[in-house]
Amino acid sequence: MKKLLTSALIIVPAFVLSLLFISKGKMPQGGLSLISFSAAVIFFNSMFFMMIYTKKTDRYRSALFITTAFFFVISFIGHMIEERGSMSFTDDALLNCQIPFCHIVTTMVLIPFAFTKTIIFPGSLTQGYAAVGAMIIIWLLSVFTIGRAWCGWACFFGGLDEGFSKILNKPVIKHISPSFKYLPVAVLLLVVISSAYLLQPTYCSWICPFKAVTEYEPITSTASIIKTIIFLSLFIILVIILPILTKKRTQCAFFCPFGAMQSASNYISPFEIKIDVNKCCGCGLCITNCPAASISKENLKAGAPALTCLRCGKCVDICPKGAAAFHIKGVEAGYDELCRVLSLYAYFIFMAAFLGGSFTDGLHKILNFFATGSFI
Amino acid sequence: MIKIKTLTGFLWALLVILAIPAVFMSNNKLAEKLVHASGMKISSVFTGGEINETIENKGYKTIINKPVFACLAGETKKGFIQVEWRAKDKLPSAIEEKIDINGDKIPEFTIIFDTASKKATIINDTGTAAYIIKIYTLKTGFAVRAGFKKLTLNSGGFEL
């Protein structure tokens, strides 16, 4: 009973903040809005409560992360259909710069911006849905706060390959060459250089797998047919098939240029995962179960996962000796639970603030579909 | 006794936890400040460049933008010019637009646009090798991007 009450008390500030962010400061009007809002608040906070109460992180984070990604896709596609009548963008949206800006584009706009003070993306700077300025502020915030936990907690795409990675109980492909961990860096370099040279966001234009579930160029030319084949193939291979076969987040771990860039922010974030070398029994469970392939034998010896760690908490949950733990830089041993709660607080608040609205909107669109036969 | 390093670590974590809601709450204002302070703009590769001239015609208006020679540093030799036709009532079945890029009152090329078939052709009036890059279908009209190569620069601007 005491544990239950303590856990409930711990989540009170997070509950208040999530209420504020999910409602966007206004009480929802109408029956379906109220239902979707209440469901979002209850679901987010019950998952967070379970993380605190059970001292297990990944199971509840994963449920929240996957569900949020699903509702985000529904919300985004619904939004595009509402605005344009289709998932493909129109010439009007292109020329009037109304394309929503996604965090992955950040990797491609920084160098051209440094040189030309212009953003090489047809989005709105401050107005409308997913404006450039607002997304850059959120990205900067993530760099200085949660680091690459963005990919484990806040990325609205990451939940898709995580969802598929949970389908099988055991991986079919058990060995992945360690050299694959350099692939995202190569993709990052390729898209940064090509985007700066061509002044076009080349990843978005040619190889982003998530165009399959967001928006894409209308198929009107040979180039657009080739682009469509590429992004659909990459989505099927990297987001569906390989995660199912490997039980890893293959798109995030081996292809995403944003993930590669965001890894560097793990240096800046105060939160980290630490592995106690003295407690580690060398069973290798964390190595085989890490969804981002961020732990190797060398990492175990070094006492920390690789810089690519998503802070999902899988290794912390699975370690039979309690050697892996959430940690705050500078804090001495003996404060494991406080470090964990503070880390989870930062990640959860970020997630609720960033994705709570999409969750509610996606759920609302689904409920609307059942009530009226239309998503919109 | 808590060590200073531990205390600093917790303070840092708390600051971060407080910063997250604070920044999200003021995100729109911060975004406006960021855009304003940095002088951020959308690249003319996407906007089509600044408007150079608006011509009011019977039933429609023509918007001719300034030529764009965008590249990472300086200007590129290959540029484009964007021309838009916006219907007030109805666009004519064929539009002929003479384009004077360097402002010397001598058109370098002419764009002929068939609004029914949405096809554009270019007549190069002064030996310019202009070509159609893309035709955009807009809610109230059409836009055409014509590409061309800047050959030499003179003191007055550029010469084709």
- In the chain, the amino acid numbered A285 is L
Q: Which CATH number fits domain B44-159: 1.10.1740, 1.10.540, 2.60.40, 3.10.450?
A: 2.60.40
The C-alpha atoms of residue A230 and residue A232 are separated, in whole angstroms, by 6
Say yes or no for a CB contact (<8 Å) between B21 and A343.
no
- SS3 assignment for B100-158: CCCCCCCCCEEEEEECCCCEEEEEECCCCCCEEEEEEEECCEEEEEEEEECCEEECCEE
A370 in reach of chain B (CB within 8 A): no
- Chain A 41-70, residues with CB within 8 Å of chain B CB atoms: none
Spans in chain A with pLDDT lower than 50: none
Tens digits of per-residue pLDDT, A235-256? 999 999 999 999 999 999 999 9
Residue A211 CB coordination number (10 Å): 22
For testing the chain A interface, which of B1, B3, B16 should be mutated: the one with the most A CBs within 10 Å? B16
**What is the predicted pLDDT for the residue at B152?**
53
- Chain A 255-274, residues with CB within 8 Å of chain B CB atoms: 269-271
A10: its two tokens: 């711990």
Contact residues on chain B for A141, CB-CB shorter than 8 A: 19-20, 23-24
Tens digits of per-residue pLDDT, A25-71? 888 888 899 999 999 999 999 999 999 999 999 999 999 999 999 99
Name the nearest CA neighbour of B42 among A299, A101, A363: A101
Residue B111 CB coordination number (10 Å): 21
- In the chain, the amino acid numbered B104 is D
Instruction: Write down the residue that tokens 């205390």 correspond to.
Output: B7
- Checking if the pLDDT of B124 tops 70, the result is yes
Q: Which helix (H) or strand (E) holds B63?
A: strand B60-65
Of A91, A121, A270, the CB nearest to B136: A91
State mean pLDDT over B102-127: 86
Instruction: Write down the residue that tokens 């608006």 correspond to.
Output: B54
Q: Which of A303-317, B68-82, B106-120 has the highest mean pLDDT?
A: A303-317
- Chain A 203-262, residues with CB within 8 Å of chain B CB atoms: none
Q: Which helix (H) or strand (E) holds A93?
A: helix A91-95
Name the nearest CA neighbour of A352 among A69, A40, A26: A40
Q: State how far residue B40 is from chain A, nearest Cα, in angstroms.
A: 5
Give bridge partners of residue A133 from the DSSP assignment: none
- In the chain, the amino acid numbered B90 is K
Instruction: Write down the residue that tokens 């291979």 correspond to.
Output: A237
Q: Which of the pair, A175 or B41, is modelled with greater confidence?
A: B41
Report all structural domains of chain A as residue ranges with CATH numbers, in order of start. 1-72+335-370 (no CATH), 88-269 (no CATH), 270-329 (3.30.70.20)
Size of interface A-B (CB pairs under 8 A): 153
Instruction: Write down the residue that tokens 């906007």 correspond to.
Output: B47
**What is the predicted pLDDT for the residue at A270?**
97
The C-alpha atoms of residue B137 and residue A149 are separated, in whole angstroms, by 42
Low-confidence winner among A265-279, B21-35, B70-84 (lowest mean pLDDT): B70-84
The C-alpha atoms of residue A126 and residue B4 are separated, in whole angstroms, by 42
Q: What is the DSSP string of A149-168?
A: HIIIII-TTHHHHHHHHTSS
State mean pLDDT over B125-143: 87
**What is the predicted pLDDT for the residue at B130?**
87
**What is the predicted pLDDT for the residue at B157?**
47
Say yes or no for a CB contact (<8 Å) between A91 and B137.
yes
Of A196, A330, A345, the CB nearest to B72: A196
Is the C-alpha dihedral spanning A254, A79, B36, A138 positive or negative?
negative
